[in-house]
Amino acid sequence: MTTPTHRTQSSNSGPSWFERCLKTCLVASLLAFAASPLAAQGTGSLTGTVIDTTSGKYLEGAEISVQGSSLTTTTARDGSFNLGGVPVGAQSVLVTYPGLDPKTESVNVASGQPTTVAVRLGSSEIFSLGEYRVSGSKEGMAQAVALQKISIQAKLVAAADQFGPISEGNVGEYLKFLPGLSIDYNANDARGVSLRGLNTSFTVVAVDGTPMAASSSVADTRRFEFEQIAMNNVETTELFKTLTPDLPASATGGFVNFVTKSAFDREATSLFSYDVSFVVPSTNFSFGRESGVWGSGKEFVIRPNVDLTYARRVNSKLGINFNYRFSERYDDSPRTELTWVTATPASAATAIWTAPRLSQYNVRTEQKITHRESFASKLDYLISDDTKLTVSGQWNWYDLYFHQRGPQLVLGNNATSSGGANPTFTSTAPIVRNDLLFRNKYGTTWHFNGTLSHQFSRDVKAWLTGYWSYADGQYRDVSKGFISSQAVLNTGLITSMSLANTMTEELPGISLLNGTSAVSVDTLRMLGNYTLSAGASYQSRPWTTHENKTGVSGHYSINLPQFPMPTTIQIGSAIDKTERDITRLTRRGNFTPITGATLDQYRDVGFTKDLAFGFGSYQTVDPYKIAEAFKSTLYTYAVDEYREFTEDNLSAYLRADVKPTRDLLLVGGVRWERREIDGLAVDRANVRSKLATTNLKYSEFYPSLTFKYTPAQLKGLVARGGVSRSVGHPDYADLVGTVNSESAPGAANGTIVEVSPGLKPYFTTNYDVAVDYYLKNSGVIGVALFRKDVKNFIIRRGMTAAELTAAAAEAGISAAEFSSGAIQYNGPKSSVEGVELSYSQNFSFLPKPFNGLNAQANFTLTDADGDNNDVLWAQQRGAASKTFNLVLGYRIGAWSITTSTNWTGDTVASGLVNSEWIVGTANANPALDTQLVSIKSDVMRTDIKVEYAISSRYKVYAGIQNIFGEGRWDYLRGYLPENSAVRLPRNHYQFGEPYYNVGIRGQF
Backbone angles phi, psi at 751, to 5 degrees: -135, 150
Q: What is the pLDDT of residue 918?
A: 80
Residue 411: is its pLDDT beyond 90?
Answer: yes
Element (H, E) at 669: strand 664-683
Q: What is the pLDDT of residue 15?
A: 45
* Mean per-residue pLDDT, 465-487: 94
Tell me the residue ranges of DSSP E strands in 196-317.
Answer: 204-207, 210-211, 234-240, 255-260, 270-281, 289-290, 299-300, 303-313
Q: What is the pLDDT of residue 1003?
A: 85
Backbone angles phi, psi at 769, to 5 degrees: -150, 135
Q: Report the distance separating Cα 521 and Cα 527, nearest Å.
A: 13
Residue 731: is its pLDDT beyond 80?
Answer: yes
Could you report the per-residue pLDDT of 603-625, keeping only the tens digit for each? Answer: 998 888 888 889 999 999 999 99
Residue 495 contacts residue 428 (beta carbons within 8 Å)? yes
Q: pLDDT tier at 851 (50, 70, 90 boundaries)? A: confident
Could you report the per-residue pLDDT of 122-151, keeping only the tens digit for each? Answer: 876 554 554 444 455 667 777 878 888 888
User: Which of 6-20, 424-438, 958-972 comes out lowest in average pLDDT?
Assistant: 6-20
Q: What is the pLDDT of residue 230?
A: 76
Residue 995 contacts residue 961 (beta carbons within 8 Å)? yes
Number of neighbours of residue 620 by Cβ within 10 angstroms: 26
* Mean per-residue pLDDT, 396-400: 92
Task: Tell me the residue type at 618.
Answer: Y
Tell me the residue ranges of DSSP E strands in 756-894.
Answer: 762-775, 779-791, 794-798, 818-826, 830-842, 853-866, 882-892
User: Which of 151-165, 638-652, 840-854 comes out lowest in average pLDDT?
Assistant: 151-165
Q: pLDDT tier at 153 (50, 70, 90 boundaries)? A: confident
Q: Report the distance separating Cα 636 and Cα 892, nearest Å.
A: 66
Q: What is the pLDDT of residue 748?
A: 84
Q: What is the pLDDT of residue 124?
A: 65
Tell me the residue ranges of DSSP E strands in 53-154.
Answer: 63-66, 72-74, 80-87, 89-96, 103-109, 114-121, 128-129, 132-133
Task: Tell me the residue type at 491.
Answer: T
Backbone angles phi, psi at 953, to 5 degrees: -115, -10
User: Which of 507-511, 565-569, 739-743 comes out lowest in average pLDDT?
Assistant: 739-743
Q: What is the pLDDT of residue 524?
A: 95
Q: Report the distance separating Cα 25 and Cα 15, nearest Å.
A: 15
Closest CA to 647 of 583, 756, 732: 732
Q: pLDDT tier at 4 (50, 70, 90 boundaries)? A: very low
- This prediction has a pTM of 0.88
Instruction: Give the residue, 109 or 192, on which the prediction is more confident.
Output: 109
* Mean per-residue pLDDT, 370-377: 92
Could you report the per-residue pLDDT of 211-229, keeping only the tens digit for each? Answer: 999 887 677 888 888 777 7
Write the DSSP string, 318-352.
Answer: EEEEEEEEEEEEEEE--EEEEEE--SPPSSGGGST
Number of neighbours of residue 228 by Cβ within 10 angstroms: 25
Closest CA to 958 of 948, 950, 968: 948
Residue 576: is its pLDDT beyond 60?
Answer: yes
Could you report the per-residue pLDDT of 352-373, keeping only the tens digit for each? Answer: 888 899 999 999 988 888 898 9
Task: Name every residue whose Cβ is closer than 8 Å to that of residue 437 and which is 6 or more positions away in sequence.
Answer: 403, 404, 405, 484
User: Which of 16-20, 105-109, 845-849 comes out lowest in average pLDDT?
Assistant: 16-20
Task: Name every residue whose Cβ is closer than 8 Å to that of residue 840 and which is 6 or more positions away in sequence.
Answer: 141, 144, 145, 779, 780, 854, 855, 856, 857
Q: Report the distance separating Cα 989 and Cα 482, nearest Å.
A: 25
Q: What is the DSSP letter of 58?
A: B
Task: Name every residue whose Cβ is closer than 8 Å to that of residue 319 and which is 6 or more positions away in sequence.
Answer: 262, 263, 264, 311, 312, 313, 379, 380
Element (H, E) at 1004: none
Backbone angles phi, psi at 141, to 5 degrees: -65, -40
Q: Report the distance separating Cα 529 and Cα 603, nearest Å.
A: 12
Instruction: Give the residue, 655 or 821, on which the prediction is more confident.
Output: 655
Residue 65 contacts residue 275 (beta carbons within 8 Å)? no
Q: Report the distance separating Cα 15 and Cα 516, nearest Å.
A: 82
Q: Report the distance separating Cα 14 and Cα 9, nearest Å.
A: 12
Mean pLDDT over the full length of the chain: 85
Q: What is the pLDDT of residue 11?
A: 39
Residue 62 contacts residue 49 (beta carbons within 8 Å)? no
Q: How many residues does the chain have?
A: 1004
What percent helix, strand, coil does the chain show, rounded to 5?
10, 55, 35
Task: Name every residue whose Cβ is closer than 8 Å to that of residue 540 and which is 6 or more positions away in sequence.
Answer: 477, 478, 483, 484, 585, 586, 587, 588, 631, 634
Q: Report the distance separating Cα 282 and Cα 872, nearest Å.
A: 41
Task: Name every residue whose Cβ is closer than 8 Å to that of residue 716 and which is 6 or more positions away in sequence.
Answer: 773, 774, 775, 776
Three-class DSSP category at 266: strand
Cα 493–chain centre separation:
48
User: Which of 193-207, 235-249, 375-389, 553-567 comes out lowest in average pLDDT?
Assistant: 193-207
* Mean per-residue pLDDT, 811-832: 86
Residue 869 contacts residue 795 (beta carbons within 8 Å)? no
Strand order in the sheet with 818-826: 738-740, 750-755, 818-826, 794-798
Could you report the per-residue pLDDT of 114-126, keeping only the tens digit for each? Answer: 888 889 988 765 5
Residue 693: is its pLDDT beyond 60?
Answer: yes
Q: Angle at CA 500, nearest 5°, toward 487 and 511?
A: 55
Could you report the per-residue pLDDT of 48-75, keeping only the tens digit for each? Answer: 999 988 778 889 888 898 988 888 888 9
Residue 787: is its pLDDT beyond 90?
Answer: yes
Q: Report the distance separating Cα 667 and Cα 852, nearest Å.
A: 39
Largest CA distance in the chain: 106
Burial of residue 789 (number of CB atoms within 10 Å: 0-12, 13-18, 19+):
middle
Q: What percent of the chain has pLDDT over 70?
A: 91
Element (H, E) at 808: helix 801-811
Q: Report the distance separating Cα 30 and Cα 557, nearest Å.
A: 13
User: Which of 134-138, 283-287, 699-703, 895-899 comes out lowest in average pLDDT?
Assistant: 134-138
Which range, 93-102, 403-412, 919-928, is most confident? Answer: 403-412
